[in-house]
Structure 1
Amino acid sequence: MKVVFVHGALVRDSAWWWSRMSPRLAQHGLSSATLDLPSCHTGGGLHTDGDALKALLANISEEVILVGHSYGGMVVTDAGTAPNVRHLVYLTAFLADTTQSLASFAGPEPAPHLEFHPDGTLSLRPEDLRARFAQHCDEGAYEGARARLTRQPQLALTQTPRNAAWQSKPSTYLVCAQDRGTPPEVQREQATRAHKVIELDSDHHPFLSQPDQLTNILVEISRQ
């Protein structure tokens, strides 16, 4: 079985974000693959990202546990209907239906940690990374995360998924109870659409700050 990780918005280099998880999962016989979202590298929107995930899944012969982190949950929702996907894991993420964009879950005012640019992209203000998203991360993880921030087209946030994979696939929602970027109450509302809910006492990035605990959860899911 393979765990496929789909990273969140406004960052690049997915393999780095999962680098603390891959060796831990391998110790339990689970291989890993990661997807570099095109919208965070060359451009495009949610559908571009979904097509990239579909292509990746089509080249995997094993059964897949598909992990979507934050915005990555939108991509998992769009592309996670592939026949080899056994389980969806939403990690402080969004379970949209086909009428809902990520932007539709936002409040009336722009989030203060986001910066909108004239070219139609947006980015995370680097000075907000530590306090809002990485307060439990060690210094090495924090510096690595900061170095991988990038711009992303707003189209990724305004497109709606073409499928709602959680309606047909088993799913687990992982609430990160100390996340200051996606508030826990927002996560718990999203989690009502999942089959199972697990809470972690974690910031926004448990694969960096709590890799052992996250590994144990994914291993348990693989045995179901």
Structure 2
Amino acid sequence: MTQPTTTTIVLVHGAFADAASYARVIPELLAHGYNVVAPAVPNRSLIGDAAYTASVIRQIPGPVILVGHSYGGAVITVAGVEDNVKALVYLAGYALEQGESLGELQGRFPDSDLASALVYTPFPIEGSTEGGTDVTVDVAKFPAIFAADVEPELAAVLAVSQRPLAAQAFADAAPAAAWKTKPSWGLVASADHTINPDVERFGYQRAGMTTTEVDSSHLVMLAHPKKVVELICEAAQSVAH
């Protein structure tokens, strides 16, 4: 008799962060018996990042619960159309409509505190004379905007170890919206100063998601890991066969 394949939780990090932002969630998910994959997203363009994430998903046997934080929400919106993705979980994330860009969605709402704290730095692109632009958060402003309820010592480390997001990612239009065909859950970080919480609410409501709100900063996985694990497990159990 064939043993059932264990569900894999794929954790997609956001901009200005890396997979270590899930450090408090991963041990809990492993303890629940799930396989966990937390890839390093290139953070170069929405279309390219989604293609990379989709390539990771395709190599995973069995069902996948796809989780995206922040910009990672936009990535899973596109990559989540892969056949073995059974559910989507958005954590303080962008749930784009097909044909919509991050810039367009954010532009409909008042700016968060992040807007005035962004730093733009040119970087070279091989084969291009123009290069690209990296976007980061002012290191001094990062803790208050991104991680107000995370320990100050950890927030300081996160501030100086940011993964930049290329400006191109804000302009790419989502070629697909996986939430149209996949069950989806959304967590609003109601004390978020990185993404206006109304942007999160709007995207989730438009998608008809099961939505929960947590009084948290943007880095809800570090500030409230148990709440995040509960939501991921709820999604995984709801689609288990």
TM-score clears 0.5: yes
Paired letter, 1:205: L
1:188 aligns with one of 173, 176, 201 = 201
Query: Aligned ranges for residues 37-48 of structure 1 at < 5 Å?
Result: 37-39=41-43, 44-48=44-48
Identity %: 30
| 62 and 100 in structure 1: CA distance in 2 versus 1, 3 angstrom threshold | same
Tell me whether 1:3 sits opposite 2:9 in the alignment: yes
- Structure having the higher Rg: 2
Residue 165 of structure 1: how far off its partner (Å): 0.5
Residue 156 of structure 1: how far off its partner (Å): 1.0
2:64 maps to what in 1? 64
Report if the CA contact (8 A) 1:134-1:142 is conserved: yes
2:126 maps to what in 1? none
Unpaired runs of at least 5, structure 1: none
Tell me whether 1:199 sits opposite 2:205 in the alignment: no
Post-superposition Cα deviations, 1:56-79, rounded to whole Å, max 9, x if no partner, equal 001101211111111111110111
Query: Aligned ranges for residues 96-175 of structure 1 at < 5 Å?
Result: 96-107=96-107, 111-118=115-122, 119-175=132-188
Residue 140 of structure 1: how far off its partner (Å): 4.1
Q: What secondary structure, in the 3-state scheme, does the structure 2 residue paired with 1:218 have?
A: helix
1:219 maps to what in 2? 233
CA distance in 2, matches of 1:36, 1:214: 20
Paired letter, 1:221: A
Residue 141 of structure 1: how far off its partner (Å): 2.9
Question: TM-score scaled to structure 2, two decimals?
Answer: 0.84
Residue 98 of structure 1: how far off its partner (Å): 2.3
Structure 1 stretches of at least 4 aligned residues deviating more than 4 Å after TM superposition: none
2:23 aligns with one of 9, 16, 19 = 19
Question: TM-score scaled to structure 1, two decimals?
Answer: 0.91
Question: Which segment drifts farther, 165-174 or 133-142?
Answer: 133-142
Post-superposition Cα deviations, 1:9-46, rounded to whole Å, max 9, x if no partner, equal 133x31x111211111111112211121113xxxx311
CA distance in 2, matches of 1:71, 1:218: 18
RMSD: 1.8
Q: What secondary structure, in the 3-state scheme, does the structure 2 residue paired with 1:68 have?
A: strand
2:3 maps to what in 1? none
Paired letter, 2:198: E
Unpaired runs of at least 5, structure 2: 1-6, 123-131
